[in-house]
């Protein structure tokens, strides 16, 4: 069967899929608000709010996604991040994670996961399955998602500490 959608368009549709789902839910809620009475009218408001939340989360996820043509594969399972690469690999438990760093001077950029008594785990941002890291990182207490996304899409070649469990710096010294 011939594919009628160009690969570039399919990539964009996959990257922004949650936004499209949220827009559909929002449109459904708005149609109930403006096009009906009674119970559907009342249900339209929470459905529209859910649609807005889905759009907001979808935009964040789309900004986190990169192409998945990098080396290796990432798997997140029950609080454990596994990376299987051609030259390196390893497993890190999220509960043991002490520091998350975006290393931008490597090509492509890599996530560095530091845990005590283990070697740092380096994961390319474009490894297959790396979109699962968004949900894993979101569980880290105190992680600033918007800052992580802006650093991921920023230019530069200096490593950037995205999150630390216990800061080694005095509280008056900022990361950036």
Question: What is the structure's pLDDT at 20?
Answer: 94
Reported as a single tens digit per residue, the pLDDT across 113-162 is: 999 888 889 999 888 888 888 889 988 998 888 888 888 888 888 898 98
Indicate if 84 and 150 belong to the same structural domain. yes
pLDDT of residue 42: 92
Q: Is residue 56 domain-shared with residue 135, that is, in the same domain? A: no
Q: Which is it for the CA torsion 10, 155, 110, 71, positive or negative?
A: positive
Which pLDDT value is given to residue 175?
Answer: 55
Band the pLDDT of 165: cuts 50, 70, 90. confident
Alpha carbon distance 119, 110 (integer Å): 15
Range of the domain at 158: 73-164
Q: Are 80 and 139 in contact (CB under 8 A)?
A: no
What would the mean pLDDT of 65-79 be, rounded to a whole number? 82
* CA gap 38, 26 in Å, rounded: 19
Q: Residue 172's pLDDT is what?
A: 58
Same structural domain, 158 and 82:
yes
Whole-angstrom Cα distance, residue 70 to residue 124? 7
Going by C-beta distance under 8 Å and a sequence separation of 6 or more, which residues neighbour residue 157?
104, 105
Which of 18-22, 61-65, 71-75 holds the top average pLDDT?
A: 18-22
Task: Let me know whether 37 and 100 are in one domain.
Answer: no
Nearest to 59, CA basis, from 146, 143, 125: 146
What is the pLDDT, as a whole number, of residue 92?
92
Q: For residue 5, give the DSSP letter.
A: S
Residue 152: predicted pLDDT: 84
What is the distance between the alpha carbons of residues 159 and 106, in angstroms, rounded to a whole number? Answer: 9
Number of independent structural domains in the chain: 2
Tokens found for residue 138: 């979101």
Domain check: are 104 and 27 in the same one? no
Question: Are 83 and 22 contained in the same domain?
Answer: no
């Amino acid at each position: 069967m011939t594919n009628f959608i160009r690969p570039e368009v399919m990539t964009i549709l996959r990257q922004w899929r949650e936004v499209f789902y949220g827009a559909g839910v929002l449109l459904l809620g708005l149609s109930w608000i403006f096009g009906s009475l009674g119970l559907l009218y009342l249900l339209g408001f929470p459905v529209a709010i859910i649609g807005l939340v889905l759009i907001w989360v979808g935009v964040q996820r789309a900004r986190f996604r990169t192409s998945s043509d990098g080396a290796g594969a990432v798997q997140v399972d029950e609080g454990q991040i596994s990376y299987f690469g051609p030259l390196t690999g390893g497993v890190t438990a999220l509960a043991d994670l002490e520091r998350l760093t975006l290393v931008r001077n490597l090509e492509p950029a890599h996530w560095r996961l530091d845990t005590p008594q283990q070697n740092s785990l380096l994961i390319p941002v474009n490894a297959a399955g790396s979109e699962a890291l968004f949900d894993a990182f979101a569980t880290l207490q105190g992680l600033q998602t918007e800052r992580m996304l802006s650093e991921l899409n920023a230019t530069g070649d200096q490593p950037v500490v995205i999150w630390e469990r216990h800061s080694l710096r005095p509280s008056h010294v900022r990361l950036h």
